Structures are given as structure tokens and as C-alpha cells.
Amino acid sequence: MNIGDAARASGVSAKMIRYYEDIALLPPAARRASGYRDYGADDVHRLRFVRRARDLGFSIEEVRELLSLWHDKSRHSGDVKALASRHIAALHSRIDALRNMAATLETLVDCCAGDSRPDCPILADLSGDGGRCPP
């Protein structure tokens, strides 16, 4: 299986597959005589794992840990759970940060006339003319 097929089968771009190999997230791929990388079902399986973990927002380094836990048949599920829980906490703090931004902006947008006049509580807030915009 060429890299392009592996990419299509796993949902990871060929570019990324090479990159993951380069940073040793994945073991060096087998090579044909031509130098082409050659992938099998196991490789695609691992790629799908990586893809799924990335889709869940794990960083490359976290995926590295997940892969090593996955391959370790004597792992403790507690270690996986701890890693996932840490990630969930990180997600929640990012969510909170974004929600705070959105809430602030929504308040400002709600009291902006949004017409052709220049007066704008959004700009007023940004420029530090502390809020005369209570909702």
C-alpha cells in the first residue's frame, strides 16, 4: 500500500504521515525497492488511532503517550484515564476562556446600534472607556 492509499484509508494526509514518522510518533515505514513507503493494515490501524486522538484534541505529545499505553499490554487503565481526564480539564479551561470572550462581546454587541452612526460601545469598551453598556 502506497502512502496515498494509507492516507485515504486513515484520513491522515500523506504529508502528515511523513511528518509523524519524522518526529518518531510512528515507526519508520517499510520501504519498497524503489524507496516508496509501504503500509499494511496494522499501519493504517495505528494511523486511524492517531487521527481519532487528534480529532479529540490530544496534542502530538499526548498521542505519543496514548500510543505507548495502547501498545503496552500491561498498562493500567488508570493511567489512560488520568491522561484523558487531564485533557478534559484542559478542554474545559479553553472552553471557559472562549465563553468569557463570547459573553463579553455579546453584551457589547447587544448594546451597539449597528447603524450608520459612528458611536459604538464595542469600540468604546476596547478603548478603555469603561462600560456604560449594562445589558
Partner DNA sequence: CTTGACCTTCCCATGATGGGAAGGTGCAAG
Partner DNA sequence: CTTGCACCTTCCCATCATGGGAAGGTCAAG
| Binding-site ranges for DNA (CB under 7 A) | 2-5, 13-16, 18-19, 29, 32-37, 54, 59-61
> Minimum Å distance from CB 34 to a copy of itself?
30
The item of DNA, a copy of itself, none sharing an interface with residue 88, based on CB under 5 to 8 Å by kind, is a copy of itself
Judged by CB under 8 A, does residue 40 bind a copy of itself? no
Nearer to a copy of itself, 43 or 125 (CB): 125
Nearer to a copy of itself, 33 or 56 (CB): 56
- Cα 63 from Cα 69, distance rounded (Å): 10
What angle, rounded to 10 degrees, do the helices at 14-22 and 3-10 form?
Answer: 100
Q: What residue type is 72 in one-letter code?
A: D
What angle, rounded to 10 degrees, do the helices at 41-55 and 60-71 form?
Answer: 130
Number of residues forming the site for a copy of itself (CB under 8 A)? 53
The item of DNA, a copy of itself, none sharing an interface with residue 30, based on CB under 5 to 8 Å by kind, is none
3-state secondary structure of 60: helix
- Cα 106 from Cα 41, distance rounded (Å): 49
Q: Which stretch binds a copy of itself (CB under 8 A): 12-20, 22-30, 31-39, 90-98?
A: 90-98
Instruction: Tell me which residue has cell 500523506.
Output: 14
